[in-house]
Amino acid sequence: MSVPKDPGDLRDQRRKKASGLRLNKRGGSLEHWAARAPSSPMHPSNSEVVVECGWGNLVFAHTYDSASAVARDLEAESRGRRNIAIYVRDPHVVLAHKPQHLFLDPSHTFRLWLANAALARPLRLLPFTVRRLRTKADAEAIHRIYLARGMVPADPAFVWAHRASRALTYFVAEDDASGAIVGTVMGVDHAEAFEDPEQGSSLWCLAVDPDAYAPGVGQMLVKTLAAHYSARGRAFMDLSVLHDNNEAISLYKKMGFKRVPVFAVKCKNAINEPLFVNDVPGPQLNPYAQIIVDEAARRGIRVDVLDAGHGYFRLTHGARSITCRESLSELTSAIAMSRCQDKRVTSKLLAEAGLRVPEQREADGSDADRAFLKRHKAVVVKPADGEQGAGISVDVRRLRDLRAAIKRARAEDETVLIEEYCPGEDLRIVVIGFKVVAAALRRPPEIVGDGNATIRALIEKFSRRRSAATQGESRVPLDGETERCVAQAGHKLDDVLPAGQRLQVRKTANLHTGGHLKDVTATLHPALRTAAERAARVLDIPVTGLDFLVPDVTASAYVIVEANERPGLANHEPQPTAASFVDLLFPLSHSPEDPHAQAAD
């Protein structure tokens, strides 16, 4: 992202392009290339270069002769997309043309000079592989990660169509164990896009799945893209990062990137709003309340924040006004709420309705507790009234551990339940208006050894990544339950985990204790969908998150473990949970077409 060394030289280069003179070993004008490759994302103009990226256009402002033309092409963005003008020589002049519609991006540009960059792959074994995009499933995974990160998505069809593009390059990081795509990055080759005389390149859309457990995914994607452009003979690779993203800036500096005086200009729109509107002073809503508030505000529904710290707000549309605490609203009765809060009542009602639930008993310290453990061989211990995974111990097998688990659970609620342990995958199904709107497998937190760090240090590093990805909502507590799970696998917290070895450090898959989710809405078996909707009607609750244990989401077998009266809707993006919730509250409100998303770079 640099200003050309001599603007006059660049004009000469443009004139040569217009005449079709070859400038490098590939040669050819943009018209020549466009004729040869009709699917190319390049703008057909010689002197005003625009590269379409799927989520919007990159306007290479230093190829323009006038600031007004830059402003014109920047402002011509489509709904739900974002254009970015980069390498703006005179940003103040561009802004002067459209002061009400454009703003100066508050990001820094960093440059890596590729000739001197340390791009060697690490000696230690990584649990993931960085490779070029190869399949349509890769393109769909890129779309999913963009959405999970709140970025403007690129149509998978666009990404797939440009998999062999010389101007655009896509890399993905694939988990070696599961085959899942856990990260992605896109690069733009300036020499291919407009025969850049400086032989530059730039990095865009670096995104790591918030549920990725392995460290270093983003760093390896950056290094791989840099090595790719180095092999092409490019001189440098630029990237843009928000000025206050100190963690990312620190990483880029360690990798050898240097700050350069390069500017970008963007449009004032809903997507970019956080970049040009000052933060509202005072306490901020948590992600579970904010996702609903954002959806309501986009529909023109009035929002009054009543207690930001606890997630209370009031929504008003016309003569109708409803108070909510996150996804719990006045539409949920006190009776329905009490049924969900007391897990004994939940289990009893569902069992009486013919739905499958695990056997359970109330812990009383008698021989009956021990007999229950002996009969089932493994049990779950949990408080009768609890949330966010607090006080829950899973797969308890020994009497000593049973006593300790009961003590932990009793710290959350006086009444403690011992429940039959049913192996299977932890499935959360969100039901709104008695219809299933989202389903996700909840996976317990897992670390991967590197042969150097202790298990304790790996857990702390994992927690920092999860906390950053969830706005502080998720981290693995270093408590007795974590220590028990580590010990059950034959380790201690201060042991060094061998390189490549995976270790599940909690048995519960709750988000707040480090778990993560994988969306399975599209593959949910009809029997599970029916059971969830029936359970919601039995409990008479309009919004609920039902926890299932299933051997396979595509099969009909299940048990229902519990129901949550205040499910975290933000955990299930990109499924339309917030939209469905606001539809329930205000059926006549209008849902806008374009998604509210964050920056794409």
Cβ within 8 Å of residue 146, ≥6 positions away: 55, 152, 153, 154, 184, 205, 207, 600
CA distance 521 to 523: 6
- Is the per-residue pLDDT at 92 higher than 60? yes
Phi, psi for 508 (deg, rounded to 5): -80, 150
Please return the burial class of 365, using the count of CB atoms within 10 Å of its CB with bins 0-12, 13-18 and 19+: exposed
Domains, the chain: 123-252 (3.40.630.30), 281-329 (no CATH), 445-506 (no CATH)
Mean pLDDT value across residues 581-598: 70
Choose between 252 and 275: higher pLDDT. 252
Amino acid at 164: A
What does DSSP assign to residue 513?
G
CA distance 406 to 325: 30
Amino acid at 516: H
Quote the tokens at residue 117: 């960059």
- This prediction has a pTM of 0.67
Q: Which of 210-214, 295-299, 523-527, 580-584 has the lowest mean pLDDT?
A: 210-214
Torsion of CA 344, 348, 351, 357, to 10 degrees: 10
CA distance 444 to 463: 13
Q: pLDDT tens, 133-176?
A: 999 999 999 998 998 888 888 999 999 999 999 999 999 999 98
3-state SS, residue 523: helix
Q: pLDDT tens, 451-467?
A: 888 999 888 888 887 77
Residue 206: pLDDT band with limits 50, 70, 90:
very high
Choose between 200 and 209: higher pLDDT. 200
Q: Which of 171-185, 310-324, 335-349, 495-509 has the lowest mean pLDDT?
A: 495-509
Choose between 350 and 299: higher pLDDT. 350
Q: pLDDT tens, 4-19?
A: 344 344 434 433 333 3
- Is the per-residue pLDDT at 313 higher than 90? yes
Amino acid at 414: E
Mean pLDDT value across residues 403-415: 85
Structure confidence at residue 124 (pLDDT): 60
Quote the tokens at residue 118: 């340390």
User: Angle at CA 292, nearest 5°, toward 282 and 341?
Assistant: 95
Strands 264-267 and 502-504: unpaired
Residue 312: pLDDT band with limits 50, 70, 90:
very high
Structure confidence at residue 121 (pLDDT): 65
DSSP string, 403-431: HHHHHHHHTT-S-EEEEE---SEEEEEEE
Write out the H or E segment, with its range, that includes residue 11.
helix 7-18
**R_g of the chain computed on alpha carbons:** 27
Contact 596, 147 (CB under 8 A): no
CA distance 2 to 260: 8
Q: What is the 3-state secondary structure (H, E, C) of 212-253?
A: CCCCCHHHHHHHHHHHHHHHCCCCEEEEEEECCCHHHHHHHH
Structure confidence at residue 5 (pLDDT): 42
Structure confidence at residue 383 (pLDDT): 86
Q: Which of 79-93, 375-389, 477-491, 517-531 has the lowest mean pLDDT?
A: 375-389
3-state SS, residue 492: coil
